[in-house]
Chain A
Amino acid sequence: MSDRPVLPELPTLPTDAPPSEPARQLGHFRPRLLLHEDHDLCPGCGEPLAIRTLLEVIDEMGEAENTIGVVGIGCYTAFTSTMDVDLVQALHGRAPSVATGAKRMRPETIVFTLQGDGDMVNEGLQEVLHTAARGESVTCVMLNNGVFGETGGHMTATTVLGQRTKNSLEGRDAGYHGYPILIADLLAPLGGTAYAARGSVHDAPAVGRTKNMLRRALETQRRGDGFSFVEILTMCPTGWFVPTAEGPGYLNSVLGAVHATGELRNAERLVTTAELLQAAKDDAGRREEPLS
């Protein structure tokens, strides 16, 4: 028997109704631009977090009635029935071209695409590259989990080396499968690109930083400065074969170690993913140095 004191049984508090004491409500179940909360995405999926953040930014910018979304094909497509903004469903990978048409016909609107890594990088790589190079005033949002989640969890062009997927059960092997494409590094240096950033939803502070990126991207579009792009790393525990509770850690340590988060392009300022990774490494090194 240990003689450590035993923690008292802490009482659980009622959480089935708003508090009766005077209190200010800071957050609602769902963002105002989502019609209801229910959805069929897997437990622990990161995509609803990214969608919540995007809808909040559109609402906070006062653009709810002035926004057209063009949606690709992936698990997130299920939200087309509950997102309360005007939406167009594009063919797999073609959303940036449809967005180009929408924006050219309705230049006063905010136009965004919502795509996954399979949709944007595998199915429609040329669409997004040309849209960025033309400097179209649209915002492309890509949810990156490194798998074709909706069709069973197969490898995509962004799957990182060593990552297990349905058709890379031993982990992605460079010799056999090739190397991942860092899509943000392809888009950021193009002349038509005004803003490019990579965020993540692996924890609450990361969600906050991602929200700022989405806001900067949509503000870039509103100013008419050119093409804007936000990639968001999202958990897919189902596709990765990891327990839901380990999804955020896996996302940050495995995908995030290759697709590093940060701003890659903001007006004339251009940073590569390699530089972001080096800066994160230097930062960690400095923190480990003993104080003298």
Chain B
Amino acid sequence: MSTVEARGTITIAVERCKGCELCIPACPPRVLRMSADHNETGYAYPELLPGCTGCGACLLVCPDFCFEVYQYETPILHEVGAIGDLGGPES
């Protein structure tokens, strides 16, 4: 098992999301990805993976006001499986 530290987290207003995907590349640690599911309006929406820093970039670029941003007083550790065994890039 390995762990990923999260200094922050977000809440996502999934039902308001219009699926534009602007938040995905805006997230510096790339911990947002689009869902396979769709909200009631029919749009895919972002999901949060472990490793949020609470930087607020997603909030700044979302046209539909879908994000609230928090910074933990003490960082949280998330267990994420055998990520440490992945090895480096192909040589």
Contacts and interface: CB of A to CB of B under 8 A. Distances in A.
B3 to A, nearest CB: 12
30 contacts: A9-B81, A10-B81, A13-B48, A13-B50, A15-B48, A16-B12, A23-B9, A23-B70, A24-B71, A25-B68, A25-B70, A26-B8, A26-B69, A26-B71, A27-B56, A28-B68, A29-B66, A29-B67, A34-B65, A37-B64, A38-B16, A39-B64, A41-B63, A43-B63, A46-B63, A49-B60, A204-B57, A204-B60, A207-B61, A245-B21
Contacts, number: 139
Contacts of A201: 61
Report whether over half of chain A's contact residues are helix, strand or loop; otherwise say mixed: loop
A11 B80 contact: yes
A48 B11 contact: no
Contacts of B73: 21-24
Interface string B25-59: 11000000000000000010001111000101101
A27 B50 contact: no
B70 A24 contact: yes
B11 to A, nearest CB: 5
B86 A5 contact: yes
A130 interface: no
Interface residues of B, number: 51
Nearest to B19: A43
Interface string A169-201: 000000000000000000000000000000001
B80 A10 contact: yes
Interface of A: 4-5, 7-13, 15-19, 21-30, 34, 37-39, 41-49, 52, 201, 203-204, 207-208, 237, 244-245, 247-248
A12 B70 contact: no
Given A12-B49, A13-B49, A17-B11, A48 B65 contact: yes
Nearest to A27: B69
Contact of A244 (B13, B20, B60, B82): B20
B60 A11 contact: no
A246 to B, nearest CB: 9
Nearest to A23: B70
Given A24-B73, A37-B64, 14 more contacts: A9-B81, A12-B47, A13-B50, A15-B47, A16-B14, A18-B11, A18-B68, A22-B72, A25-B70, A27-B68, A29-B66, A37-B65, A245-B20, A248-B22
Contact of A44 (B16, B22, B48, B69): B22
Contacts of B74: 21-22
Nearest to A202: B61
A30 B71 contact: no
Enumerate the 8 nearest inter-chain pairs by beta-carbon distance, A residue then B residue, closest first.
Answer: A44-B20, A43-B18, A8-B81, A204-B57, A244-B20, A27-B69, A37-B65, A23-B70
Nearest to B21: A245
